[in-house]
Amino acid sequence: MTRAAVVAAGEALAETRARSSVRRILLVAAASLLTAGCGDAPKRAALYHAEKLLYDARKAETAARLGTTPPDSAALLLLRARYLKVRAVAPGPYTVAGSAADSEIAMATIRTVGIAETQAVRMAIEARRPDLGLEAARRLESEVAGDAVTARQAAFMAVAAYQALRRFDDAAAKMKEIVKAYEPLPPGESGEDPVLGIPEALVNLRRNLGDEEGAARELRDALTYYQSLLGKPRPPALEAQIRARLLRTYLELGQTSRGLEEVNQLERIVTGTPSLRPMLAEIYFAKGKIRATLDRDPSDGITILDRIAVDYPNSSLAPRAIFEAAALLESKGNFEGAKQRYQSLLQRFPNAMDVAPIALYRLGITYDRMGNWPASKGILESVPARYPRSPIAAQAPMAIIQHYLAEGRKTVAQAYLVKALETYRSLIERDSAGYVAPHFRVKMFQIYASRGDSSSLYAITDEMLRNDPHHPYTAQALLEASRAAGRFGNPSRRLAYLRRFAQDFPKSPLVPEVRRELRAAGG
Amino acid sequence: MKLSFVDALGSAFDSLRCFRWREYAPFFWMLAIEGVCLALTTQLQHSWAMTVIAPIAKAAGGEDNLHYPPFFAYLPILLGWVEGVIYSVLGCVLIPLSLLRLYSRTDRALSLGAGVAGRLAGAVIPTLLATLAGLGAIWGWQRHWAPAVSKWIAEHSTGSTGVFLGWMATTVGSYAIIMLLLYVPIAAVQYRTNPVRAVFRGLRFGIRAWIPTILFGLFFGIPSLLVQYLLEKQGGHLISRVAPEIVVVFLALYVTFSSVATYLTYSAGARFYTISRGDE
């Protein structure tokens, strides 16, 4: 080997060593980078993936809703599947523990999965598959017990699913469970905590089911609940909201003197807290209503109520204040004043769904009392067309029939029954699964019963059983239909209806009597 | 020697005309690293990508932005930090290397590799100092003075013109700072110099040649400035209307244009320095 060759070999060896040491340094650096402070990377990556899928699902939903036709059930279930993917990439268990960074990631993951799952529940309910929604809501609530915000959302979605499934008693029980389990939170960006609205929702649920006794019971329970909330010190904003709810409950229960005490307390809090100024409308509303009730002459109270719509036109109480003023005037026989206010409400707040449909109905009645039947009839006939999703749409045709009966025009009233039936049928066809459909079906039932039309009576009873199996109206229809079947000489159908009643409404106080009847009949 | 605008113009056009891959390659390596970082940001749903990006974001104080899609609104800021680190740490070697490759066209010894290591080693510290000083000054300008300048311009102009002029003033201010320090690495790679002398000479030439240097710096920077303006002013719309990931495409365009513009600026600066000072 020559000297030059030795030198060359040495240089080559040195170069190889240098290259291998560079490679080693690079490997160590890469390994250090991969491990140093990156222990949370898999969780963080999973959270990021979940957020990305949630973003994509929301975008897909927005695109679907911007289309010319609203998404059908199949499209909604596909959108639901996109929301469900979020959970698949961050499957849990969802425990908030460990270091501050770990807890932060865990909490953000729970919130993201919670939002996606609640959206999926919403989609399932909208696609008329509330069963899927209920299952998901229950699972979510049990899995995310560590995060009260998400667990509350899941509980609310379960209520919506129960209502969509027409399991109203379960919905009510779940709402009561929420009230017990979750303390109301101070108002955030989205306003009042929905937990505070649950007692009112329970009252409305009972009313929508035609259960006025149940509604009164719920109203008393609401009073106890709001009073118990004030047993603990609360932030001023939350205290004001609780007192406002309490005040409304006193007024609904007719306890005006207690309401007056409450309104004064509320006024002290609101005037002492500048951010609560928008609640002044609530105070004036209560004051107006109390004065109109307590004073011999309600005109001062009505003036206060009238001012609300002028001074606080953007308040949700503005249409309600006009309505209350109109109703007070109507009750005092001032039909002209009532008419003007009903008209003003319908002109300014036609979409105030809590009062506008009733205002239109009352306007029709007011015209009748003023002796203008053609105008009254026209308005009453327009109620189902303008507000087909309001329970008052079921009342309007009956009011026309009652007018004819009061005038002694039985033939005309009989003829109008056919038109009423057509109206109810068209309203049911518009939204057969809606919460007002049972109101229309029960009216049809009453008309068939009054006409002695057995086959139509059985048909509508069977329709109620199919569509509203656990509705109180269905319970009422089953009992009446069984009696009618007895009168029509159809004992097998009578027994079938009684059996179905005992089976579907086991908690009803009438069940022992029904069972006795069944035993007596040998069923 | 008096500086000539014609020489500055000639240097700028020569750098465009005589583009050589071998001289640009060191800038390309820095661009490649930025490109890898950008590619990783599109894959953060995978833990291997998050493992790399999360520590960088943490180090830049932007850990709270590691969420989808807010991360893409933060990405231009993160990339600014990454670019700063790359140009400081790697640039202190790679920028002088590129300049030495440029000078090897006319320097026979350099072309044969003689004295390259020594001149490169001597240029590292001045280049690093110049880059860090430039980044610090730009940070101070953009944080403390630029908002007041932009506000003043916006108040004295109307509508979108005022917004554009305000943004332009901020950008030109940053360019002015960078161009003042551009000649430090160039002076540092010259024959028979030392770090102190390089910094002194580089700064002195930077002050003398400030205006023409800003002009050709802005000229080369036009494509990247356009992308930057679009991203700054329409970034929110792009994220919400198109897709958050579109930001990465614009940033990839920006870093590419910016890398080429930086090389061309150094190349033109080196030519101008040589013409104006003579071969030292």
**Distance from B46 to chain A by nearest Cα, in Å?**
6
Average pLDDT value over all residues in chain B: 90
**Distance from A27 to chain B by nearest Cα, in Å?**
14
Q: What is the pLDDT of residue B204?
A: 94
Q: What is the pLDDT of residue B47?
A: 92
User: What CA–CA distance (Å, rounded) separates A454 from A464?
Assistant: 15
Q: What is the mean pLDDT of residues B200-207?
A: 94
Selected for mutation to probe chain A from B64, B66, B82 (highest A CB count within 10 Å) is B66
* Closest residue on chain B to A30 (Cα): B52
DSSP state, residue A191: B
**Which of B44, B55, B69 is closest, CB to CB, to A38?**
B55
User: What CA–CA distance (Å, rounded) separates B100 from B115?
Assistant: 10
**Distance from A59 to chain B by nearest Cα, in Å?**
10
Q: What is the pLDDT of residue B238?
A: 86
Q: What is the pLDDT of residue A444?
A: 95
Q: What is the pLDDT of residue A14?
A: 44
User: What CA–CA distance (Å, rounded) separates A253 from A221?
Assistant: 11
User: What CA–CA distance (Å, rounded) separates A135 from A255?
Assistant: 42
Q: What is the pLDDT of residue B278?
A: 57
Surface of A (66-125) touching B: CB under 8 A: 89, 108
Residues of B with CB under 8 A from a CB of A: 44-47, 49-52, 54-55, 58, 66-69, 71, 244
Which residues of chain A neighbour B55 with C-beta distances below 8 Å? Answer: 33, 36-38
Q: What is the pLDDT of residue B193?
A: 87
Surface of A (6-35) touching B: CB under 8 A: 33-34
Confidence of residue B152 (pLDDT cuts 50, 70, 90): confident
Which residues of chain B neighbour A89 with C-beta distances below 8 Å? Answer: 45
With an 8 Å Cβ cutoff, are B47 and A42 in contact?
Answer: yes
With an 8 Å Cβ cutoff, are A89 and B45 in contact?
Answer: yes
* Closest residue on chain B to A63 (Cα): B241
Q: What is the pLDDT of residue A10?
A: 46
* Closest residue on chain A to B59 (Cα): A37
* A45 touches B at CB < 8 Å: yes
CB A371 within 8 A of CB A336: no
With an 8 Å Cβ cutoff, are B67 and A47 in contact?
Answer: yes
With an 8 Å Cβ cutoff, are B47 and A41 in contact?
Answer: yes
**Which of A41, A42, A48 is closest, CB to CB, to B68?**
A48
Q: Residue B159 above 80 pLDDT?
A: no
Task: List all residues 6 or more positions away from B184 whose beta carbon is below 8 Å from its beta carbon.
Answer: B126, B127, B129, B130, B198, B199, B202, B203, B206
B168-200 pLDDT tens trace: 899 899 999 999 999 999 999 998 889 899 999
**Which of B58, B67, B68 is closest, CB to CB, to A37?**
B58
Task: Tell whether pTM > 0.90.
Answer: no
**Distance from A12 to chain B by nearest Cα, in Å?**
19
Q: What is the pLDDT of residue A37?
A: 47
Q: What is the pLDDT of residue A2?
A: 40
* A465 touches B at CB < 8 Å: no
DSSP state, residue A232: S
DSSP state, residue A522: T
Locate A268 and state its tokens: 């002290």
ipTM: 0.86
User: What CA–CA distance (Å, rounded) separates B137 from A429?
Assistant: 73
Q: Residue B85 above 90 pLDDT?
A: yes
3-class SS of residue A511: helix
Regions of chain A short of the pLDDT cut 50? 1-18, 21-22, 25, 28, 35-37
Selected for mutation to probe chain B from A26, A34, A48 (highest B CB count within 10 Å) is A48
Q: b vs e for A147-157, b when ≥16 Cβ sit within 10 Å of the residue's Cβ?
A: beebbbbbbbb
Task: Please confirm whether the linkage preceding A184 is cis (ω < 30° from 0).
Answer: no
With an 8 Å Cβ cutoff, are A41 and B50 in contact?
Answer: yes
Which residues of chain A neighbour B67 with C-beta distances below 8 Å? Answer: 47-48, 51, 108
Q: How many CB pairs under 8 A join A and B?
A: 51
Q: Which residue has the higher pLDDT, B2 or B68?
A: B68
With an 8 Å Cβ cutoff, are A38 and B54 in contact?
Answer: yes
Which residues of chain B neighbour A100 with C-beta distances below 8 Å? Answer: none
Question: Residue A504 belongs to what H/E stretch?
Answer: helix A491-504
With an 8 Å Cβ cutoff, are A55 and B45 in contact?
Answer: no
Which residues of chain B neighbour A49 with C-beta distances below 8 Å? Answer: 45
B243-262 pLDDT tens trace: 899 999 999 999 999 999 99
User: What CA–CA distance (Å, rounded) separates B51 from A45?
Assistant: 9
